[in-house]
């Protein structure tokens, strides 16, 4: 992601744009350009298309976004977090909007990511879903971390992905509750 950001920076400068002037042309915030160039924010496919067209890059950024290695598909802060997550001996969560990624089924994760704005294209959606599910490997480690999850009760009643996805997700949560060192909890809805 940082390499793609540096490519954007080089192309922007070569075309004579400042971060501010490029942002104004694209009708986005200057900080968005800065964050992408510094590798703190992912360059989304639709924005890459706009920049390619504006700067005459003939699809260079779009190709870069499409071919990002899996490890580079996340912002730097998320990569660092996931690295710490893989090494952790103890993790705690409180979530009031969705179930934590480590407890999501593939169908639930796909449904959650399908609601993202701006939307992921199908390839991005599949890659992000797979990445989320792969993170769950820490639950099966020989010495898994001690995990504590508190979820706001209404989250369990949301129809994310439809009735079948919800039913399978609740069954999965029940199975996760049996894992050693994993403590699920529910915050009251009232």
Shared-domain flag, residues 114 and 32:
no
> What mean pLDDT value characterizes the chain?
90
pLDDT in tens, 104-159: 999 999 999 999 887 888 988 998 899 899 999 999 888 899 999 999 999 999 98
- The answer to the question of residue 79 being in a domain is no
pTM over 0.85: no
Residues 176 and 94 in one domain: yes
Same domain, 128 and 172: yes
Domain with 175 in it: 88-187
Q: How far apart are CA 44 and CA 47, in angstroms?
A: 5
Residue 82 lies in a domain: no
pLDDT tens-digit profile of 167-184?
999 999 999 999 999 999
Are 175 and 103 members of one domain? yes
Give the pLDDT score at 75.
67
Q: Does 15 map to a domain? A: yes
pLDDT of residue 40: 81
Per-position b or e across 5-17, b if 16+ CB within 10 A of its CB: bebbbebbeeeeb
Burial 52-66 (b: 16+ CB within 10 A, else e): beebebeebbbebbe
Of 165 and 96, the one with more pLDDT: 165
Residue 101 is assigned to a structural domain of this protein? yes
- Can you tell me the distance from the alpha carbon of 139 to that of 86, in angstroms, rounded to the nearest whole number? 10
Output the domain CATH number for residue 65. Answer: 1.10.260.40
């Amino acid at each position: 992601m940082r390499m793609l950001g540096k490519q954007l920076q080089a192309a922007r400068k070569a075309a004579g744009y400042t971060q501010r002037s490029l942002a104004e042309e694209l009708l986005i915030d200057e900080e968005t350009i800065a964050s992408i160039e510094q590798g703190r924010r992912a360059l989304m496919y639709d924005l890459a298309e706009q920049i390619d067209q504006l700067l005459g890059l003939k699809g260079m950024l779009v190709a870069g976004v499409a071919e990002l290695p899996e490890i580079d598909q996340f912002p730097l802060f998320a990569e660092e977090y996931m690295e710490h997550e893989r090494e952790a001996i103890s993790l705690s969560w409180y979530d009031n909007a969705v179930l934590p990624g480590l407890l999501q089924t593939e169908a639930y994760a796909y449904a959650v990511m399908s609601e993202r704005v701006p939307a992921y294209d199908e390839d991005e959606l599949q890659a992000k879903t797979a990445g989320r599910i792969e993170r769950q490997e820490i639950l099966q480690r020989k010495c898994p971390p001690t995990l504590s999850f508190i979820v706001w009760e209404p989250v369990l009643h949301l129809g994310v992905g439809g009735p079948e996805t919800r039913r399978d997700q609740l069954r999965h949560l029940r199975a996760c509750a049996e894992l050693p060192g994993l403590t699920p909890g529910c915050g009251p809805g009232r």
